[in-house]
């Protein structure tokens, strides 16, 4: 096969992402998706105001890359895959050298999202793996219809989406660079798809999309980010549901010059250097704090099993920690608004329980104390030992209270109050 084979797609010259097409299709066809999206948006509004980004461990996410190729020309190498993982790790930690290109006016918005990625070292059956699967297919090109995600339709089946970020690399047609499925969809199609000319920084990657930013953008969607202009065409009424990104008319493309204004958004104009705009790879260099917080809610809720290891072991040991706070459905929400004090590895959480007593738990960098779900009681405000919570089993009834020198007895009441 020669490089002039007419069935091969020309590398895109302008960014085009299919995530919103998939989003609209699923909203139209899937009641379950509509319900899951609604629930996650409500959770996000509820939690992002109180979420403390720095209180969470770095979320390290195992990745499987499915290479689906129809010729040697669209097959990416292991080395090319590693360059992509490196870019993801730089971009999501704000460790990319070109973050220095952010204009001074926007510098305070730059966020370290505290997310990292690594090629999976254990496959779904528990066997060692490179985190890379390869399949030769007779299908020359794919679209947003998800055929690439199923072996039966010429692609490769997903690994369990609650344990792995699935990335498919294939030939996408119609100028599409990539697409993602937002959280809330079917596990079998969960993940992101990137065309082979927009993946990694070497090998088959082609300018102006050869710096790995298509994957950064698509993983942003996978962690619940919308396009920065709000996906309303070129109007000024759409929102990306993030407070610190300026209102923006439509997508910016190519490499814009600062400032680029729209929608009366002031002297500084659009945040076109954000990963969720439509610029060339060289022009997109940052996420904002608001975007990082929105992603953190997603990571603390629907994507939690991916990095805590609670959905199953995978390679690198993952500490099992509680979400920053408050927990989405657990003790914190039912017990009132927690106060979090984080310092280095140490996290202290204080909350007033339904028994009016103050309760405390802490994370020392290794584990939660007194236990994953337990709390120690610091007593009611007048110093009295709190009454037993009505309807709850108190752990102290089974285990004797522990005397700690200089402190009141710790009773570790079972206050989890899960429904
Ligand atoms: Zn997109």
| CATH class assigned to 19-299 | alpha beta
How much distance in Å is there from the Cα of 214 to the middle of ligand 1? 8
How much distance in Å is there from the Cα of 199 to the middle of ligand 1? 15
- Write down the pTM of the prediction: 0.75
Task: Report d(CA 394, CA 388) in Å as an integer.
Answer: 7
Residues (pLDDT < 70) of the chain are: 1-8, 310-357, 359, 365-367, 371-374, 379-419
From residue 391, give the alpha-carbon distance in Å to each of 156, 376, 387, 414: 50, 18, 12, 11
Answer yes or no: are the C-beta atoms of 222 and 302 closer than 8 Å: no
Question: 384 Cβ partners below 8 Å, 6+ apart?
Answer: none
Q: What is the pLDDT of residue 69?
A: 98
How much distance in Å is there from the Cα of 226 to the middle of ligand 1? 7
**Which among 382, 273, 362 is positioned nearest to 322, based on CA atoms?**
362
Buried b (16+ CB within 10 A) or exposed e, 103-115: eeebeebbbbbbb
How much distance in Å is there from the Cα of 55 to the middle of ligand 1? 29
The per-residue pLDDT for range 40-87, each reduced to its tens digit, is: 999 999 999 888 888 888 999 999 999 999 999 999 999 999 999 999
How much distance in Å is there from the Cα of 119 to the middle of ligand 1? 23
Angle among Cα 150, 155, 158 to the nearest 5 degrees reads 50
From residue 183, give the alpha-carbon distance in Å to each of 225, 295, 414: 10, 11, 32
Q: Where are the domain boundaries for CATH 3.40.390.10 in the chain?
A: 19-299
How much distance in Å is there from the Cα of 321 to the middle of ligand 1? 31
**Ligand 1 being an ion, which residues bring their Cβ within 5 A of it?**
17, 19
Q: What is the pLDDT of residue 56?
A: 84
How much distance in Å is there from the Cα of 412 to the middle of ligand 1? 47
Task: Report d(CA 166, CA 159) in Å as an integer.
Answer: 7
Tokens for 408? 């009141």
In this structure, what DSSP letter does residue 189 have? Answer: G
**Which among 82, 106, 105 is positioned nearest to 94, based on CA atoms?**
106
Return mean pLDDT, the chain: 83
How much distance in Å is there from the Cα of 28 to the middle of ligand 1? 19
Residue 266 gets the label, from left (phi > 0), alpha (psi -120 to 50) or beta, of: left
Cα torsion 234, 238, 242, 246 to 10°: value is 40
How much distance in Å is there from the Cα of 13 to the middle of ligand 1? 15
Question: 226 Cβ partners below 8 Å, 6+ apart?
Answer: 239, 240, 241, 242, 276
So which residues are the catalytic ones? Answer: 218
Tokens for 69? 């190729």
Task: Report d(CA 299, CA 26) in Å as an integer.
Answer: 21
Q: What is the pLDDT of residue 356?
A: 64
The per-residue pLDDT for range 83-141, each reduced to its tens digit, is: 999 999 999 999 999 999 999 999 999 999 999 999 999 999 999 999 999 999 999 99
Tokens for 253? 């493309």
How much distance in Å is there from the Cα of 117 to the middle of ligand 1? 20
Burial of 278: CB neighbours in 10 Å, binned 0-12, 13-18, 19+: buried
Q: What is the pLDDT of residue 94?
A: 98
């Amino acid at each position: 096969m020669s490089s002039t084979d007419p069935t091969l797609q020309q590398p895109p010259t302008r960014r085009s992402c299919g995530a919103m097409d998939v989003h609209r299709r699923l909203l139209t066809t899937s009641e379950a998706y509509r319900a899951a999206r609604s629930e996650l948006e409500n959770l996000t509004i509820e939690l992002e105001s109180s979420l403390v980004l720095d209180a969470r461990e770095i979320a390290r996410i195992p990745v499987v890359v499915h290479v689906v190729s129809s010729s040697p020309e669209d097959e990416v190498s292991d080395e090319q895959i590693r360059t992509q993982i490196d870019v993801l790790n730089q971009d999501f930690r704000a460790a990319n050298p070109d973050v220095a290109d952010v204009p001074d006016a926007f510098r305070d918005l730059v966020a370290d999202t505290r997310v990292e990625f690594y090629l999976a070292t254990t496959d779904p059956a528990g066997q060692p793996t490179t985190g890379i699967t390869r399949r030769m297919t007779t299908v020359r090109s794919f679209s947003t219809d998800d055929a690439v995600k199923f072996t039966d339709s010429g692609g490769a089946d997903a690994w369990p989406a609650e344990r792995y970020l699935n990335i498919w690399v294939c030939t996408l047609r119609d100028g599409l660079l990539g697409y993602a499925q937002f959280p809330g969809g079917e596990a079998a199609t969960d993940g992101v798809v990137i065309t082979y000319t927009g993946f990694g920084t070497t090998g088959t990657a082609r300018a102006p999309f050869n710096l790995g930013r298509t994957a950064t953008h698509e993983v942003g969607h996978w962690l619940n980010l919308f396009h920065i202009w709000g996906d309303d065409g070129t109007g000024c009424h759409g929102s990306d549901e993030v407070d610190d990104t300026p209102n923006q008319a439509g997508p910016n493309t190519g490499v814009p010059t600062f400032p680029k204004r729209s929608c009366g958004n002031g002297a500084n104009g659009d945040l076109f250097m954000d990963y969720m705009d439509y610029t060339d790879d060289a022009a997109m260099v940052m996420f904002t704090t608001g975007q990082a917080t929105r992603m953190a809610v997603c990571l603390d809720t629907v994507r939690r099993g991916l990095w805590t290891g609670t959905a199953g072991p995978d390679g690198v040991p993952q500490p099992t920690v509680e979400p920053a706070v408050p927990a989405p459905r657990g003790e914190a929400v039912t017990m009132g608004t927690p106060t979090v004090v984080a310092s280095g590895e140490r996290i202290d959480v204080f909350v007033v329980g339904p028994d009016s007593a103050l309760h405390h738990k802490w994370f020392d960098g290794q584990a939660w104390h007194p236990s994953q779900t337990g709390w120690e009681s610091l007593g009611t405000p007048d110093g009295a030992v709190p009454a037993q919570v009505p309807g709850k089993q108190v752990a102290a009834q089974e285990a004797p209270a522990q005397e700690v020198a200089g402190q009141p007895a710790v009773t570790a009441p079972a206050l989890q109050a899960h429904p």
